Amino acid sequence: MSFVEYSEFIQEGDVAIIFLGHDSMMPVKVQQGAQTQTRYGVVRHSKDLIGQRFGTKVTCSKGGWVYVLHPTPELWTLILPHRTQILYTTDIANITMMLELKPGSVVCESGTGSGSLSHAILRTIAPTGHLHTVEFHQQRAEKAAEEFREHRVDHLVTVRNQDVCKEGFGVTGVADAVFLDIPSPWEAIRHAKNGMKRQGGRVCSFSPCIEQVQKTCEALADEGFEEISTLEVLLRVHDVRSITLPLPDFGSDRPLETPTDTPVPSNASVLCKTTTPPRDMAGHTGYLTFATKPSV
Amino acid sequence: MADNGDDDSQHRVNEGDYVVLKRGDIYKAVQIQKKKKTVFEKQWFFLDNAVGELYGTTFEVVTDGKLQPRKPKHIESSADAKEAGTDNRNIQDDGKSQKLTRDDIETLKEQVQQLIENSTTFRDKTEFAQEKYIKKKKKKYENSVMVLRPSCRILAMMYHGREPGKICHLRYDTLAQMLTLGNIHAGSKVLVFETCAGLVLGAVIERMGGYGSVVQMYPGGGPVRAGVESFGFPSHFHDTLHEFPICHVNALLAGTLDTEAKDIDTNAGQANGDKSNLTQTDPEKAEGKGGSPDTEDQSMETSTSTDPAEDKEREEREKRREIRAQEKIVKTEEKRKKLSAAAGVLKGRNADGLVIASRFHPCPVLLGLIKFLAPSRPFVVYSQYKEPLIECYSKLREQGGAVSLRLTDSWIRHYQVLPNRTHPMLLMSGGGGYILSGTTVATDTTKAKTCSTTAEEPAAKRLKLTETTEG
């Protein structure tokens, strides 16, 4: 198991994901002799997990069952311990494509935060790329580095504990792409440019407020970035339902034979498959501003 | 500056490269060929001078369609906007504010300055309106073109802008969701079924980076890959790409697919023919199958020709036939090898991902191909319409073998960001299609038996029969 490589069977030391239901998943670190409590009962690692295939159904002590899944960055995003606000898959997908990430890409990122985007970047740039991620909060930086080791992707990433706005990314002229998710991205644009390859590359900044976007776009233009483009993407989830629509009774077209004849309520109805939107949905995560550093 | 080397060579345009031309928001994919006339946005030019320049260079089109790298960008002079009004209360739309005639404009195309100087209302416009005017005129008469390296981002935006019908109206942000939800990455084994001109296939190959394998499941006579070519992948990427005709899926699943000697060309009947047999039968068939023009040609020849040239011609025809037959044998053999290789990849039923984006009904495609996936692997199905995906969702729920089913679509909005003029763009895309995604899980062996299609189909038929006899 690794976040950048599938394997068939669960081994000791793996991170596995226990799937209890769509909105209910938990990560476990697989260890001989260890047990994990779920609401369906106990999962015994030695018997239920080690040596089993990812994706199998595990029957728990109380007779309930769970599935055990192979970790992916997308599943991790749904269950990771939040140390900050995180980026979700919809934004991550667009960031990945618009930054033109692929195997071999060298990427600079700040801040690391809870590592939601970092895992997705690592998955995409493996096995030959590298991620330089900068987090100014020491504890968060350490925690992220520890997670990368546990997830067996530490060979692909360097975590630096410094202030990106003052000290930059710690590398010069190496990045194909830069991603910024910090409160004042405009202060880091200069460093982003320095971190990037002389032959150019792509940059993205994520900001919740339009004023931040405004300042960032100005800074990008001042530094000679081209193709500056701001966009926003929202995900709509459709809940699939079978609904029953009753049909009204229009009565008989013959005149009523007896005045006392009360109309019998009709049970006629039509069943149809449709979708309904969830009652609440994320209306805004952040604006994504992209730009290209021209080759010099 | 500590640079990662001065190796510019891989960043420069070479002859034969697949590139994308860009002007404004318009893209066009072309191949760099010497002395080849290229038409882009009502303008023609030759790309010869792009060779050797860095990717991302902007060129001016000069005389005789030659390209000339543009000098460092001239900062837009704010002098133009020195004299400006504050509002538009005195501006009349009399259609006569531009004093130049159409011919004058033709001769002064690039000289936006002339347009400005001859516009009586320009000085009265607000600073913002002036800028907009200049921008509009520049856009109209600009003759520059940018040469870009192709990427999934650029090609997805190009296809969506130019030929959305060819890619089932798959919008770029939807494609982005698919690649991420499908966990497409280096080293995995991914199945792709698409009728999106090869764009989706190319996007998957880009994310695999030449590591792992991709099996393109294709409908009809052969796989469509026009879009893949535009990516300009290095040749070793193609070694990881396999193809398998969807019409043999049932046979493969049933274990009855024989890839050893059988000819898999559907329109050829020499199923059990050896090589010598092939050479004999092929020319006849080529004649017969050649279609009406061919046979017509022949009958005309035989009836009119009395000169000695006829013999010679016949000889040549024979030769051509033989060559054709020979080629066909080679092709058939190649095809058989390819089929057997792809079958080998699929046989283990341990694929790591499945991506479907086609004009076909997604339900049978998904239910058929999901069988090739290992448990705990993501799959993603695109459809331009929501209803067929509702059906997929319901069938999968019934059948089991998948969790985390989600039916989604995404909504994208672009912004104009300018000092004091920031707002969403006036025009946005209405719809980019729908996605059904999920993760496979192991099915109970007992349940799997009753769920298999072979057991289901006869039962359904019988049911129908009894219904009709009763009724």
How is A110-132 classified by DSSP, letter by letter?
E--TTSHHHHHHHHHHTTT-EEE
Q: Does the structure show a pLDDT above 90 at B379?
A: yes
Over residues B245-258, mean pLDDT: 91
Contact A273 B391 (CB under 8 A): yes
Q: Does the structure show a pLDDT above 80 at B124?
A: no
Element of type H or E holding B229 = helix B226-230
β-sheet with A15-21: strand ranges across: A24-29, A15-21, A65-69, A57-59
* pLDDT recorded at residue B250: 94
Angle at A21 between CA A17 and CA A26, to 5 degrees: 30
Q: What is the residue-wise DSSP string for B193-226?
A: EE-STTHHHHHHHHHHTTSSEEEEEE-TTS---H
Least confident of A92-96, A138-142, B19-23, B126-130: B126-130
Q: Would you call A87 helix, strand, or coil by DSSP?
A: coil
* Nearest CB to B186; choose among A67, A103, A273: A103
| B163: nearest Cα among B152, B155, B174 | B155
Torsion sign, CA atoms B235, B239, B242, B243: positive
Q: Does the structure show a pLDDT above 90 at A239?
A: yes
For chain B, state the CA radius of gyration: 30
Contact B183 A74 (CB under 8 A): yes
Say how far apart CA A94 and CA A90 lie, in whole Å. Answer: 7
Chain B positions touching A69 (Cβ under 8 A) are: 376, 439, 441
Count of C-beta atoms within a 10 Å radius of residue B324: 13
Q: Does the structure show a pLDDT above 90 at A81?
A: yes
Over residues B236-243, mean pLDDT: 95
- The pTM is what? 0.83
Chain segment B3-19, per-residue pLDDT in tens: 444 577 888 999 999 99
Chain segment B18-44, per-residue pLDDT in tens: 999 999 889 999 999 999 999 998 889
* pLDDT recorded at residue B278: 38
Q: What is the residue-wise DSSP string for B84-126?
A: --S-STT----S-SB-S-HHHHHHTTT-HHHHHHTBTTGGGS-
The torsion angles phi and psi of B425, rounded to 5 degrees, stand at: -60, 150
| A221: nearest Cα among A169, A165, A294 | A294
Count of C-beta atoms within a 10 Å radius of residue A106: 22
Cα B277 versus chain centre, distance: 40
| B4: nearest Cα among A155, A104, A160, A185 | A104
Strands A177-180 and A106-110, bridge-based pairing: parallel
Burial class (CB in 10 A: 0-12, 13-18, 19+), A17: buried
Say how far apart CA A216 and CA B379 lie, in whole Å. Answer: 37
* Nearest CB to A124; choose among B57, B185, B414: B185
Chain A positions touching B440 (Cβ under 8 A) are: 55
Least confident of A46-50, B296-300, B385-389: B296-300
Contact A103 B185 (CB under 8 A): yes
* pLDDT recorded at residue B79: 37
The confidence band for A282, taking pLDDT boundaries of 50, 70 and 90, is confident
Query: Do residues A176 and A107 lie in contact, with contact meaning Cβ atoms separated by under 8 Å?
Result: yes
Check if B466 contacts A (Cβ < 8 Å): no
Chain B positions touching A229 (Cβ under 8 A) are: 414
Over residues B172-177, mean pLDDT: 98
| E strands in B384-433 | 402-416, 423-424
Least confident of A22-36, B57-71, B157-171, B314-328: B57-71
* pLDDT recorded at residue B101: 62
Q: Does the structure show a pLDDT above 80 at B266?
A: no
Place of tokens 């198991």: A1
Which residue in chain B has the smallest CA separation from A274? B390
* pLDDT recorded at residue A268: 87
For residue B87, give Cα distances in angstroms to B79, B116, B123. 19, 18, 11
Query: Do residues A94 and A46 lie in contact, with contact meaning Cβ atoms separated by under 8 Å?
Result: no
Angle at A292 between CA A288 and CA B2, to 5 degrees: 120
Instruction: Compute, in degrees rounded to 10, the torsion defined by CA atoms A200, A201, A202, A205.
Output: -70
* Nearest CB to B176; choose among A94, A198, A237: A94
Check if B422 contacts A (Cβ < 8 Å): yes
Torsion sign, CA atoms B27, B28, B31, B32: negative
* pLDDT recorded at residue B427: 77
Say how far apart CA B254 and CA B404 lie, in whole Å. Answer: 28
Is A181 a known ligand-binding residue?
A: yes
Residue A282 half-sphere exposure toward CB, CA atoms < 13 A: 17
Percent of chain B with pLDDT over 70: 72
Task: Reply yes or no: is the peptide bond before residue B293 cis, omega within 30 of 0.
Answer: no
Chain segment A18-34, per-residue pLDDT in tens: 999 878 999 999 999 99
Q: What is the mean pLDDT of chain A?
A: 93
Cα B278 versus chain centre, distance: 36
Q: Does the structure show a pLDDT above 60 at B78?
A: no
Please give the residue that has the higher pLDDT: either A61 or B418: B418
Please give the residue that has the higher pLDDT: either B314 or A132: A132
| A19: nearest Cα among A44, A5, A1, A38 | A38
Please give the residue that has the higher pLDDT: either A249 or B250: B250
B409: left (phi over 0), alpha (psi -120 to 50) or beta: beta
User: Is the complex ipTM higher than 0.85?
Assistant: yes
Over residues A125-142, mean pLDDT: 97
- Tokens coding B397: 């729920």
The torsion angles phi and psi of B342, rounded to 5 degrees, stand at: -65, -40
| B285 CA: distance to closest CA in chain A (Å) | 48
